[in-house]
Structure 1
Amino acid sequence: MVGTDETHEETQQAHGTSAANGRWRCQVDASWTEQDTGTGLGFTLLEENTEIVVGQRKVRRSNSPLHAEAECLVWAMEELSGRGFKHVNFESDCQQLVQIVTSPKAWPALAPELDDIQLLRSSFSLFSLCFISRSLNLHADSLAKEARSRDSPFILVDVK
């Protein structure tokens, strides 16, 4: 399911409602620059407007910003599936990633990441990936930027 209607997403978040059918919402973002040697990844899992899980990670620099966004989605899916969250609406401010993941077209440059996403999808009872505006993804963005600014690779997942 692709949600590209920003007005619906903004209204949904402004009123503090969780995703349809009581699912969790997971906002993901990556921070990539050509100058840095690493990429920052960040995600936050929300029930309504309450953070349940926060993830932050620094990895070696991805091939491109799009690869970084896909890598972040894969990581968030792995973490949440492994913790038993099975009904998750993932949200990204990377419209290109949302279109690629939900499109039947082949994207050879992203084949490994897309294969991982497809495999991980089967571990969720309910899965969707929707586009949200950058202004609604500020916490995941700040987690990713902070992770990228660190000196060494690390992983932090905080279950609240």
Structure 2
Amino acid sequence: MKDSILTYLWWISNASWISNGNVSGLGWSLKDQMGSEYFRLRACSRSLSALHAEMKSLLWATSCMRDMRITSIRFETNCLDLMNITTNPMDWPTFATEIEMYQRLQEDFEDVNLFHILRSRNGRADALAKEARNRGYIFSYIDQIQSDGGALRRIGLSAST
């Protein structure tokens, strides 16, 4: 996947945050044109709020897509506020830095779309984010792949130092 530029993919992200937790969990799943699914989960320092964690998840996943040389992507989220932040950035001055980072990342894509989905359609990314948060410690990411009908296979791990 890293050797060729992929054109259009379907991607879902989510974050898991609790007020008394030590970490925020981030997760995303990606399905390509061939039916293969890619998954990543990550735990980072606890964000200020659930919405901050969602924004961190969007930034991380967008950066991952760029690093994977994906040129067009359909991002999906169940977080309406995240949609609002990206479409009405002036209404969210608290997120000015994050909005600027997201806008810079978007410049690396030919086509980027962000869509709202029901929470019930966000099960995989939600489970990944919760798994990352429940580990209770910070780690960079765990990378997995699943082909149509195949079992999950871990393809990478990066531990935080």
TM-score by length of 2: 0.81
Q: Does 1:133 align with 2:106?
A: no
Q: Name the counterpart of 2:98.
A: 113
- Taking the TM superposition and a 5 Å limit, the aligned residue runs for 1:4-83 are 23-47=8-32, 50-83=35-68
Distance 1:85 1:131 in 2: 21
Relative distance call for 1:104 and 1:113 in structure 2 (3 A) is closer
Q: Name the counterpart of 2:80.
A: 95
Distance 2:130 2:76 in 1: 17
Q: Does 1:148 align with 2:133?
A: yes
Q: CA deviation at 1:51?
A: 4.1
Per-residue CA deviation, residues 65-111 of structure 1 (Å, 9 max, x unaligned), is 11100000000000111111111010000011111101252411111
Q: Name the counterpart of 2:151.
A: none
Distance 2:41 2:89 in 1: 30
Q: Percent identity, aligned pairs only?
A: 34
Q: Contact between 2:22 and 2:137, CA under 8 Å: does it hold in 1?
A: no
Q: Contact between 1:44 and 1:51, CA under 8 Å: does it hold in 2?
A: no
Letter in 2 for 1:73: L
Pick the structure with more strand per residue: 2
Q: Name the counterpart of 2:144.
A: 158
User: RMSD in angstroms over aligned alpha carbons?
Assistant: 1.6
Pick the structure with more helix per residue: 1
Relative distance call for 1:42 and 1:157 in structure 2 (3 A) is same
1:23 partner SS = strand
Q: Any stretches of 5+ residues in structure 2 without a counterpart?
A: 1-6, 147-161
2:133 partner SS = helix
Q: CA deviation at 1:50?
A: 3.2
Q: Contact between 2:8 and 2:33, CA under 8 Å: does it hold in 1?
A: no
Distance 2:35 2:138 in 1: 28
Q: CA deviation at 1:53?
A: 1.9
